[in-house]
Amino acid sequence: RPVPDRAVKIQYVTENRRPAPESHDWAMSFTHFDPPHPRHFRLPLYAWYLRQYNGGLEALVRGPGEIPGTDRARFCNFVARNWLCRERNSLFKKLSEYKQVDAPGSLMNNMPSIPQAEGEPDSPAKQRFCRGYKFTIAYENSSTPGYTTEKITDAMMARSVPIYWGNPLVHLDFNPKAFINRHDFASDEAFVEYIIAVDNDDALYSQIA
């Protein structure tokens, strides 16, 4: 139905679409406006997820006594259903040539789905699952500056090292020493080679985790 002229129009963009604050009273999204837009508030999807399911950004900080997951039984997981991201699909296949990458989602599925209580949201169930893995492939569906979703924080909450691609400015949101960033490498081959090196060096892994 038509929006009354007196209504305050607020746009909240969670997916990879540029907001239009000029056509709304206020807009919230992942976008870095330069210069800042006076009617835009940056609120990436990961921040909402952390507040909704984990209590906020503070939950990402490793507490006293938490140790890196060098002794975790499984190597790496891949939880996805969107098949349109060629970069993500390619990384899965190349990394799988080294070791088994467990994929409980509908994309590249090679194991049973993640156990989930009736009515339980996806994110907490995924975080529980990721706790059994040293690494988590945390690729976004697409790449745009500022566009960061819950994928990297789900891995961080599980204390599983995120293998990330998507937002080329992700280092503005998160400590670049806390994940392995595809944007830092010239090729998939160099990226996979580094992941393998980290997997085989507990001291190197501990510096990231």
pLDDT tens sequence across 166-175: 999 999 999 9
3-state secondary structure of 125: helix
Structure tokens at 97: 């040539």
Question: Are the beta carbons of 30 and 143 closer than 8 angstroms?
Answer: no
Which residues are CB-neighbours of 126 under 8 A, at least 6 positions away? 79, 114, 154, 158
Which residues are CB-neighbours of 92 under 8 A, at least 6 positions away? 78, 101, 103, 108, 137
User: In what side-by-side order are the strands of the sheet with 10-12?
Assistant: 10-12, 26-29, 40-42
Which residues are CB-neighbours of 184 under 8 A, at least 6 positions away? 176
pLDDT band with cut points at 50, 70 and 90 for residue 69:
confident
φ/ψ of 145, rounded to 5, equals -55, 125
Instruction: Taking residues 69-90, report their average pLDDT.
Output: 94
With a cut of 90, say whether residue 63 has pLDDT above it. Answer: no
pLDDT band with cut points at 50, 70 and 90 for residue 143:
very high
Structure tokens at 204: 């190197």
pTM for the complete prediction?
0.93
Beta strand 101-102 with 26-29 is unpaired
> To the nearest whole number, what is the mean pLDDT of the chain?
94
How do residues 8-27 score in pLDDT, each as one tens digit? 999 999 999 989 888 899 99
